[in-house]
Structure 1
Amino acid sequence: MSDRLISSRILTFSLAVLAAIGGLFGILNLAAPAAAQEPTGEPTLSIQLGPAPGNFRLAPLNASAPTFEVGDRFTVSIVALGVETPGVFGSQFEVHYDTQFLAAVEGSLAPGAVMEPVVNAVNSIDSVNGVVKFAAGRQGDLENLVGDVVLATLTFEAVAPTEPPAGQTTPIALQNVKLGAKGGIAVPVSGIVGLDVVIRGDDTQPGPGDISGLVKVEGRAADNQAGNSVEAVGELGAVYTDTTEADASFWLNDVAADTYTMTASRPGFLTASCAGLSHTADALTNLAEVTLLAGDLDGNGTIDITDAVAIGAAFGTLGPDQLADLNGDEEVDVLDLILMTANFEQTSVGNPWLCQAAVEL
């Protein structure tokens, strides 16, 4: 299982109201309040992927289902997106979910900060039936809000896997939605789009959104390949790492869509890299295997006389985890020397990882 650049697995989503003229992508930008008048548009209620509140960006409606593991927590924001004049002063809605797979966290349902102060008349979580109810209006002589308005936030915990089969989802749905402007003016909602999430257990296999493959090192048995390192660095800055199992397999779980540079490495062996790997979140990217050449003991990317000296200095020593024990038999001897000398003057640059990704939908 891969380590994340982000230490916690808390992600944020939004249940967004899309105005008919609103774009599907946009930074949250609360426009100045407008005076109340008759409604001019009918927004659509939709669940959209986005990062943490305060830096809100929508994902396209056809974005793949976000993936979590059992025990992960994630937050949804109920957002009125692209609200036109007269604006929004209050809202009511229900959030429905399947308690077999999800649990709404008690005490996590809260009005959006931009709505404050509010009178929160209805705030309940029915953890037996999987129904969350909310109703709130702004308190006092305040103005309507237009633009993109966070109405409320709610946190869920993933409690059971939806897989197998791979990619199976569970829905989070909005029902019984009403929006209103100051003066009791109803703001019509033209439609609702839900959010589906995938939940995986610890024992599931790689699936959509993952990167997998085999990284081997030269000179070791097929069942003695544990501990080889794999790193994926995205152009957008994300970093994912893993180490191989005994059979040389690795699995980077739930990797964000981006273009990645893949690097395979192990001390004592030439590092191999593969640049320009295009990965999408709705498919499994299965890479061609790579075998790292033995003999780069000093890790400078070239097998040369310095590495030969290092093996000579360790020659005859016994025991596990020795850098010069290239074949992993717990003895530095002529077999390790042969592995190194056969690769003399080989370089990392001259031996890239031809990952030749095979994407499985």
Structure 2
Amino acid sequence: MNHRHFIRVAMLLAVALSVFGTGAPASAQGNATNYLGAQIIIRSTTFWDAVFNGTVNANRYERWSLQLVEAENFTISIIATSGNLTPDIHLMDANENEIAVGNGSLSSAALTTNQPAGDYFIQVQPQSGEGTYLMEITRTEQVVEPTASVMLNPAAVLVGGTSTGTVMLTNIPQGGYASAEFTCSFNPALIQISNIADAGLFGNDSAVAVNGPANGSFVFAVAGSNGQRATSDGAVFTFTATALAIGEAEISCVARVSTGGSLTTIASTPATLLITAGEGALTGTVLATKPVTVTLYDQAQNVEASGVADANGNFSLTAPAGTYSAVASAPGFLRAQGNPALTSGVTTTMPTISLLAGDIDGNDVIDQFDALTIGINYNLSAPTEADLNNDGTINVLDLEMLAANYRDTGPTPWQ
């Protein structure tokens, strides 16, 4: 065999190896399944950045297995090498549920995705036409952009409380930053900003300029002195946020950084301080021969708190700071009502009051209809509202208690 014939034989062997996969990092398996009338050939991949070849048509799809041992960003690229094939890529999980699709255009298709560790399938099928193809699976480097962010500790406070804010720089590029500028905004009706201080990210004795805070904004600028730069992630500056009113106060800082001579705006993430009202306590004593319930209603007449007084009539309730309607009630008695104002961290004591017996029907009037109820149920134990002295029998002793408050109306002022 002369030298020219030897070269031809070698080329034929190389083509055969690429077509049939002998020794290549892809292998065709012997098993197959059917999918929408098409036979699916199960194949396996072995290496990143390797090229795999296959053939698909209306009656034949190919499904490649892919195992990720850790989370990966990767791109699946397919180029048709013969025929009139326009390919589609279907990424499936281990249970053959479709995760993502890369629709082809003309003779190629691509799908870029990020997936956690696990077993997957890459199904190649024709969008139209048929033919052979080459497939490559490559890792794609995840681009990590520099960012600024505001952090609050704690993230929720009571009115009058404080939170420490920290403005961070992360993903600082190689070479670092020579300077940075932060333009921060906040709602001055909800919070007050103070104690703005450099955190040392730009080195010792950095040059710092602060403008504000005023009218809901301030500027913090810092530059490393004597060639010092910010070269690692960390805190740029801190501040104190004091809560002034109930609400959600967002603090955002637009960041511009310089590697030297010019400023570039980078992405920034704000933080929100949740401000709630502190709780106050309401205590007092309400006297009656029946168990007494004390209820607090807010300005919309919604129940904010409720409790039953003890055997001596003493009660204690807690609720967020604010003005409420306090109602003391007992079955068969006129209600008492007051309007206490609760202050955060303070105990408010209502005056001692005795409920007036006799309002058996609960209409805020002690009259003949209440007396009639006693007469109708004389010497009985029910209704319990008519047993004013709570001795288990409705009789003249209950009528006597009613008579002491005859014609009185409620609610009784409780101030």
Band the TM-score falls in, shorter-chain normalisation: 0.3 to 0.5
Highest RCO, 1 vs 2 (Cα 8 Å, sep ≥ 6): 1
TM-score (norm 2): 0.40
TM-score (norm 1): 0.45
Higher strand share: 2
